[in-house]
Amino acid sequence: MNFLRTLVGKLWITIICLVAFVLLSVGLFFLPYIDTNFTNPGAVKKLFLIVSMIGFSLTTFFALFLITKITQPMQQLIQATDSVRKGKYDTRLSLRTSDEIGVLSNTFNHMAEELEKTIRSLNHEKEHLASVLRSMNDAVITLDGNGYVILTNPPGERILQMWSDLPEAEAEVTETVHGSMQKIPTPLLEMFRRLQDEQGDQSVNVHVKKGVWSVHMAPLASDGGIRGAVAVLRDVTEEVQLEKMRRDFVANVSHEIRTPLSMMQGYSEALLDGMAASPEESAELVQVIHDESLRMGRLVRDLLDLARMEAGHTDMTMREMDFRELAERVYRKFLVRAKETDIILQLELGEGPLDLQEANEDRLEQVLTNLLDNAFRHTPEGGTIAIGAETENGPKGALLHVSVKDSGVGIPADDLRFVFDRFYKADKARVRGESGGTGLGLSIVKNIVDSHNGSIYAESEVGKGTVFHMLLPVEKQQ
């Protein structure tokens, strides 16, 4: 039944029908004259029968010949084409004939070879592109024309997970056409719409969850239209913060230096103009100029120290020291100031040795001095300041836990993470310079603690006081 549906089968049936029609037509036409005109009509009928059998035999032989030359090669070609369709691009035909079937076979082999080369090149390009995307530190997110994510690299996937809990800008139906594909993140939605309207590259800084990302989005063109977009995202939070710190630093330094310079200039002009009516007034003006010059000298010295520390050019001789002796010495030094300001100063040292195998005693004294100076300046009369130190176990060995606690005005929770920044002022009501500070003390403290492989942090509650905790490794660090 299958043979009769093939081209050769249909051709064979057609030839048989044609031969049968001719023979029957001839036979029916001559049959009335056979009995009258021929002496042996049986021999004539026998002749017609033999001729019919020979005709049918020849057509059958011709059909078998066509099957061998046409049908079988065509079946092989169909099977080879189906194999290529299924992805077996190494399929080849072994037909070696000089007719059209052979030409078709050679053409198919050439086509399959070129197709295999093309697919191999595409796979290599795809692998190369995937390797490039995986090796990029920047996040890459590819979108289709409807704003659904179709391709990301690992950093892009992390950003999508990070932004997954953001509120959606509009309702989305993901069950119809796009299945479970992820919608474009909300921070990039407006940028994607603007790209579709303007059909050009878009660049903008996106602020999400206290972070800043620089986003460059380029369209994917196809047939004169836009079929999607590629967004490259880079985390520039640190760069933005550093730039803000640089601007604030320049502004703060200018302000801090301008104030004593203005006062020195004003009082010196008053002396030159003879505005002092008595030697006492002259001495008072000179004393103000001297105090302001000392304050500006402290500011310049602190700036230089901080710059050297941050650049790693500060030489500190590390040796074994007894922190108990240092704490007692600093305590005695500030007892006089505590009595003058009517503040209770306490020393709470733990039992046992408080030794550090590798530390710089002068720098740690500077740390305690700065912390206590801040505590005294922000603690009212009748308040309490306590110096504490004890040894405790940490995840990487023994630690010396040093604390400076005061009962002062406290620091707001939003300001705690900025207290170690240069020139940061937690008390917004305090005018710079009125309390004698340069605004760099805590920054210097943090750099000294970091150079000792330690850590420092603050805990505070407004109206109840502040505690600065310093953790220093007891054993020598490799």
pLDDT digits (tens, 9 = 90+) for 44-103: 667 667 767 776 777 677 667 666 666 677 778 888 888 888 888 888 887 776 666 777
Whether the per-residue pLDDT at 465 is higher than 70: the answer is yes
Residues in the chain: 478
Pick 189 or 39 by higher pLDDT: 189
Enumerate residues 6+ apart whose C-beta is below 8 A from 294: none
Enumerate residues 6+ apart whose C-beta is below 8 A from 456: 420, 445, 446, 449, 468, 469, 470, 471
How far apart are the C-alpha atoms of 85 and 424, rounded to whole Å? 70
Report which residue type is found at 419. V
Q: Tell me, rounded to whole angstroms, the distance of Cα 58 from its chain centroid.
A: 79
Task: Give the DSSP H or E segment for 2.
Answer: helix 2-5
Check residue 120 and give its pLDDT: 87
Q: Band of the pLDDT at 259, cuts 50, 70, 90?
A: low
φ, ψ of residue 406 to 5 degrees: the values are: -130, 165
How far apart are the C-alpha atoms of 49 and 23, rounded to whole Å? 9
Residue 314: name the closest of 252, 248, 366 by CA.
366
φ, ψ of residue 134 to 5 degrees: the values are: -65, -35
Whether the per-residue pLDDT at 177 is higher than 50: the answer is no
Catalogue the E-assigned strands of 171-315. Answer: 202-208, 211-222, 225-235
Considering only 19-23, 111-115, 187-191, which range has the smallest mean pLDDT? 19-23
Q: Band of the pLDDT at 36, cuts 50, 70, 90?
A: low
Cβ density class 352-389: b for 16+ within 10 Å, e for less: eebebebbbbebbebbbebbbbbbbbbbeeebbbbbbb
Q: Band of the pLDDT at 434, cuts 50, 70, 90?
A: very low
φ, ψ of residue 325 to 5 degrees: the values are: -65, -40
Model-level pTM greater than 0.75?
no
CATH no. for 240-311: 1.10.287.130
CATH 2.70.240.10 fits 319-473, yes or no: no
Instruction: Specify whether the backbone of 71 is left (phi greater than 0), alpha (psi in -120 to 50) or beta.
Output: alpha
Indicate if 319-473 has the same CATH topology as 136-165+180-235.
no
> What are the start-end ranges of the H helices in 312-467?
323-340, 361-377, 441-451
Question: Do the beta carbons of residue 442 and residue 461 sit within 8 Å?
Answer: no
**Mean pLDDT, range 327-353, rounded to an integer:** 86
Check residue 453 and give its pLDDT: 86
Sign of CA dihedral 197, 202, 204, 210: positive
Most confident region among 92-96, 141-145, 263-267 by mean pLDDT:
141-145
Q: At what angle do helices 100-135 and 72-85 cross, to 10 degrees?
A: 10
**Mean pLDDT, range 257-284, rounded to an integer:** 77
pLDDT above 70: percentage of residues in the chain = 74
| Max Cα–Cα distance, the chain, nearest Å | 176
Whether the per-residue pLDDT at 2 is higher than 80: the answer is no
The residue behind tokens 């009501």 is 429
The residue behind tokens 């010396």 is 400
The residue behind tokens 């503040």 is 343
Q: Band of the pLDDT at 148, cuts 50, 70, 90?
A: confident
According to DSSP, the β-strands at 455-461 and 397-406 are unpaired
The DSSP bridge partners found for residue 251 are: none
Check residue 9 and give its pLDDT: 64
The residue behind tokens 């020393």 is 347
Question: Do the beta carbons of residue 424 and residue 439 sit within 8 Å?
Answer: yes
How many Cα atoms are found within 13 Å in the side-chain-facing hemisphere of 38? 13
Domain boundaries, the chain: 3-116, 136-165+180-235, 240-311, 319-473
**Mean pLDDT, range 322-331, rounded to an integer:** 88
Q: What is the C-alpha radius of gyration for the chain, rounded to an integer number of angstroms? A: 48
Q: Band of the pLDDT at 244, cuts 50, 70, 90?
A: confident
Superfamily of domain 136-165+180-235: PAS domain (3.30.450.20)
Pick 52 or 380 by higher pLDDT: 380
φ, ψ of residue 350 to 5 degrees: the values are: -70, 165
According to DSSP, the β-strands at 344-349 and 384-394 are parallel
Q: Three-state SS for 187?
A: helix
Check residue 10 and give its pLDDT: 63
Tokens for 264, please give them: 């020195």
Considering only 281-285, 308-312, 370-374, which range has the smallest mean pLDDT? 308-312
